[in-house]
Homo-oligomer: A and B are copies of this chain.
Amino acid sequence: MPQRLVAPRNRSLWPWRRSFRTRALPATPSPPFPDEYAHAAVVTAHVPGPKSQQQRQRLAALQNTAAVGFFADYAASRGNYLVDIDGNRFLDVYGQIASLALGYNHPKLLDAMRDRTSLAMLVQRPCLGVFPPADWVDRLHRTLGAVAPTGLTDVQTLMCGSCSNENAYKAVFIWFQTKRRGGRAPSEHELATSMLHRLPGTPPLSILSFQGGFHGRLLGCLSTTHSKALHKVDVPAFDWPVAPFPKLRYPLEVHQAANEAEEARCLDEVERLLQHSAGVTEHTDSRIAGMVVEPIQAEGGDNHASPAFFRQLRDLAAAYDVAFIVDEVQTGGGSTGKFWAHEHWELTNPPDFVTFSKKMQTGGYYAKEAFRVKEGYRIFNTWMGDPAKMITLEAVLKVVADDSLLENVKITGNYLKTGLQDIADEFPALVSNVRGQGTYLAIDFPTEAVRNDFVNLMKMKGVASGGCGATSVRFRPSLIFQPKHAAEYLDKMHEVCKALVHT
Contact = CB atoms under 8 A, between A and B. Distances in A.
A220 B217 contact: no
A73 interface: yes
Given A162-B381, A203-B236, A220-B218, A192 B121 contact: no
Contacts of A226: 195
Given A218-B220, A219-B218, A191 B229 contact: yes
A29 interface: no
A55 to B, nearest CB: 5
Contacts of A264: none
Chain A binding site: helix, strand, loop or mixed by DSSP? loop
Contacts of A145: 62
A109 B123 contact: yes
Interface in A157-192: 159-163, 166, 169-170, 173-174, 176-178, 186, 190-192
Interface stretch (A98-106, A244-252, A303-311): A98-106
Contacts of A379: 64
Interface in A242-264: none
Given A73-B134, A119-B113, A154 B380 contact: no
Could you say which interface size class chain A belongs to? Answer: 35 or more
Contacts of A376: 64-67
Nearest to A360: B125
Given A160-B163, A235-B174, A375-B66, A96 B220 contact: no
Interface string A63-104: 111111111111101000010010000000000111110001
A68 B178 contact: no
A392 interface: yes
B377 A230 contact: yes
A114 interface: yes
Nearest to A137: B58
Contacts of A85: 134
Nearest to A190: B233
A409 to B, nearest CB: 19
Nearest to A98: B382
A501 interface: no
Which of A170, A205, A219 has most chain B Cβ within 10 Å?
A219
Interface in A38-66: 55, 58-59, 61-66
A120 interface: yes
A428 interface: no
Contacts of A58: 137
Nearest to A132: B71
Contacts of A71: 131-134, 136
Contact of A230 (B73, B96, B191, B229): B191
A166 B64 contact: no
A63 B379 CA distance: 10
Nearest to A232: B194
Interface in A360-405: 361, 372-383, 386, 388-389, 392
A230 B74 contact: no
A231 interface: yes
A202 B216 CA distance: 17
A278 interface: no
A389 B140 CA distance: 22
A469 interface: no
A147 interface: no
A236 B234 contact: no
Contacts of A229: 186, 191-192, 194-195, 201
Given A194-B234, A382-B161, A383-B160, A67 B123 contact: no
A269 to B, nearest CB: 15
A178 B234 contact: yes
B160 A382 contact: yes
Given A55-B132, A137-B62, A233-B201, A122 B125 contact: no
A283 to B, nearest CB: 14
A498 interface: no
Nearest to A219: B220
8 contacts: A61-B153, A62-B140, A67-B377, A73-B133, A74-B120, A97-B127, A105-B120, A161-B381
Interface of A: 55, 58-59, 61-75, 77, 82, 85, 96-100, 104-106, 109-110, 112-114, 116-117, 119-127, 129-134, 136-137, 140, 145, 153-156, 159-163, 166, 169-170, 173-174, 176-178, 186, 190-192, 194-195, 197, 201-206, 216-221, 223, 226, 228-240, 286, 357-358, 361, 372-383, 386, 388-389, 392
Given A71-B133, A104-B124, A125-B361, 4 more contacts: A64-B376, A71-B136, A96-B382, A104-B120
A-B residue pairs, 5 tightest by C-beta: A66-B376, A219-B220, A191-B229, A194-B233, A177-B234
